[in-house]
Structure 1
Amino acid sequence: MKNNDLKLGYLYIVSTPIGNYSDISKRALIILKKVDFILAEDKRKIGLLLKYFNIKNKLYLYYEYNEKKNAKFFLDKIVKGNNVALVSDAGTPLINDPGYRIIKLCREKYKHIRIIPIPGPCSAIAALSASGLPTNRFCYEGFLSNKKNKRIKRLNELKYECRTLIICESKHRLINCLYDIKNIFGKNRYIMFTKELTKKWENFYGNTIENLIEWIEKNKNMIKGEIILIIDGYKTKNNDILPSHIIKSFLSLKKEIPIRKAINIISNIFSVKKNILYKMYIENK
């Protein structure tokens, strides 16, 4: 498992199950058994996984608050020929999880270190695949801000996004987030609620945002575990609807200059009729 050319170690990005241990790959098990160090965001969770598969290996804590320090420490280990596996709590590492810094350091300072992804489960993709919504183009947003003003600002930026949206949310903020989505996207936008994928209490429920809120408020025991929302993209109703990149440019520009100037500039740049831009401004207002 050594990089024989330079005697550098390898950095493996190892995907682990998101709930069902049977989903782990044979390749992942081989890597976890043979590496010199395993970096885990949660030693308890990964410890249980290793114990289940009778893997005895060194496990080190690697999470948000020590990532900067530990990235340099374990990079030195790799440079000296040690092989390191990076895992997250569950699923594919770096998707809303620590790991970015050590990858960035490898790419910038030691370009000869091989970084090898070991593919596997990803809750966002699993939810999308079973949602029944378009999968050819999608936008992964991860967790929205826990601050209402920032969350509303971001949702307004996504209002006219035509791609399917993937949003993660915690059980504590779910209802507030859904009400914000309803107020900004409209009560009839279709949304798929998913939770606890691959686990015993896995659940999918799809409906309009208004009906989903009503269903959740009647079934509050459902708000548990890892929650992912899959939201249908904005649907154009006629030829007057503009592409999302033009809308975003217009909405950003109108915050800085008078509306008439913003309309004139966007109209000239993108060859869009001024009356269409004005109509969109009124609707958005």
Structure 2
Amino acid sequence: MVVTSSPGKVMSGTLYVVATPIGNLQDMSPRALEVLRTVALIAAEDTRHSARLLQHFGVSTPTTACHDHNERDKSVRLVERMLAGEDMALISDAGTPLISDPGYHLVRQAREAGVRVCPIPGACALIAALSAAGLPSDRFAFEGFLPAKAHGRRQRLQALAVEPRTWMLYEAPHRLLECLEDMLDIFGPERQVVLARELTKTFETIKGAPIAELVEWVRADSDQQRGECVLIVEAMPAPEESEGLNPEAQRVLDILLSELPVKQAAALAAQITGEKKNRLYQVALGKG
């Protein structure tokens, strides 16, 4: 229904950003269903995928595709309809829209046009994974998906090696093992990583371990390389003052770092100075 504030003046509609289940359909909220049934149009990442969800819940509202390839242009027309008084909902294939999913351009254009944007919260894979990971969650970072190509992925992991907060990423199942192997090479064997896979679904798995152990576990079981994956990574451990390097070890490490990659410099410095290789590695990462 179009609401008018005064004769002849039409108030704009509302854009509802609606979270949908990431697996278990019982996670759909009554409020989300009410919104989806009463809006004029649902903008969906994939209308064919969403049709099954909407049919399950008896939602007959018309849908339109709003995805990475058409979102900029489609948003202009959708915002015009909301300015004319229509309410709309935005959904992704699963979970909360905009979290590594389309929707940013529509939400931004709606807000810039003065359209009310209302979140309808619900399932979100990264928050569900973090809540069950057992790693510090008072401060955390989300990296979305890392680059698909090995070189870009390793560069990004090098930068994340010194991240002082718990951090998370989504990874495609066919790249999961390669990503973990890169982490092992760059972070060393002891950094804690939690794999949260197929959350809320039948074969939900949440496994935390030092990277070296987690790599072997995933490598040995191909079933762990299937489905939707979230990785939660321990922050770089803060060095304790009592474990500070002596000046000679620091000098040797600095010289080697000027000529060698971090991992190789730390290993060689350990042989020369007798310091622990992991400690030298962490110090070297802090200088990178």
Q: Aligning the two structures, in what range does the TM-score lie when normalised by the shorter sequence?
A: 0.7 to 0.9
Aligned with 2:20 (options 16, 19, 22): 16
Who is 1:36 aligned against?
A: 40
Q: Which amino acid aligns with 1:91?
A: G
Q: SS of 1:172's equivalent? A: helix
Aligned partner of 1:154 among 142, 153, 156: 156
Q: In structure 2, which of residues 49, 52, 73 is the aligned counterpart of residue 48 of structure 1?
A: 52
* Distance in structure 2 (CA, Å) of the matches to 1:57 and 1:283: 54
Structure 1 CA distance for aligned equivalents of residues 26 and 155 of structure 2 = 40
- The SS at the match of 1:96 is coil
Which letter maps to 1:89?
Answer: D
SS at structure 1 position matched to 2:240: coil
> For residue 64 of structure 2, what is the aligned residue in structure 1?
60
Look up the match of 2:249. none
What TM-score does the superposition give when structure 2 sets the normalisation length?
A: 0.81
Q: Is the 8 A contact 1:75 1:106 kept in 2?
A: yes
The equivalences for 1:117-196 within 5 A come to 117-196=119-198
Deviation of residue 69 (structure 1)? 1.2
1:107 aligns to 2:114 (yes or no) = no
Structure 1 equivalent of residue 85 of structure 2: 81
The answer to whether structure 1 residue 91 and structure 2 residue 95 are counterparts is yes
| Residue 213 (structure 2) aligns with | 211
Report the Cα offset of residue 68 of structure 1.
1.1
> Which structure has the bigger radius of gyration?
2
C-alpha distance in structure 2 between counterparts of 1:234 and 1:2, whole Å:
54
1:216 aligned partner, one-letter code: V
Cα deviations by residue, 1:139-173 (Å, 9 ceiling, x for unpaired): 11110001222211111111111211111100111
Q: How many residues align?
A: 248
Q: Secondary structure at the match of 1:173?
A: helix
Q: Is the 8 A contact 2:161 2:285 kept in 1?
A: no
Mark the CA change 1:120 to 1:3 in structure 2 (over 3 Å): closer, same or farther: farther
- The CA deviation at 1:181 is 0.9
In the TM superposition, what is the alpha-carbon distance from 1:284 to its structure 2 partner?
5.1
Whole-Å separation in 1 of the counterparts to 2:85 and 2:189 = 56
Query: Do 1:3 and 1:10's aligned partners in 2 also have CA atoms closer than 8 Å?
Result: no
Structure 2 residues not aligned, in runs of 5+ = 245-257, 259-281
Separation in structure 2 between the aligned mates of residue 4 and residue 139 of structure 1, nearest angstrom:
43
Q: Distance in 2 between matches of 1:118 and 1:102?
A: 16
In 2, Cα distance between equivalents of 1:235 and 1:47: 46
8 Å contact kept, 2:174–2:226: no
Q: What is the one-letter code of the residue matched to 2:206?
A: F
Structure 1 stretch displaced more, 190-199 or 178-187: 178-187
Task: Note closer, same or farther for the CA distance 1:148–1:181 as it changes in structure 2 (3 Å cut).
Answer: same
Letter in 1 for 2:34: I
**Given the superposition, is the C-alpha separation of residues 234 and 2 from structure 1 closer, same or farther in structure 2, using an over 3 Å criterion?**
farther
CA contact (8 A) 2:142 2:168 kept: yes
Pick closer, same or farther for the CA change 1:2–1:195 going to 2, 3 Å: farther
The residue type equivalent to 1:204 in the other structure is I
Describe the shift of the 1:238–1:203 C-alpha distance in structure 2 as closer, same or farther (beyond 3 A).
Answer: same
Q: Secondary structure at the match of 2:200?
A: coil
Note the C-alpha offset of 1:223: 1.1
CA shift digits 1:224-244 (9 cap, x unpaired): 110000111111122388xxx
Tell me, what secondary structure is at the counterpart of 1:130?
A: helix
Partner of 2:271: none
SS at match of 1:115: strand
1:218-273 CA-to-partner distances (Å, cap 9, x unmatched) read 101221110000111111122388xxxxxxxxxxxxx9xxxxxxxxxxxxxxxxxx
Q: What value does the CA root-mean-square deviation take over the aligned residues?
A: 2.1
Identity of aligned residues (%): 40
Distance 1:2 1:118 in 2: 21
Divergent runs of 4+, >6 A: none
Q: What is the Cα deviation at residue 129 of structure 1?
A: 0.2
User: How much does 1:107 deviate?
Assistant: 2.3
Q: TM-score scaled by structure 1? A: 0.82
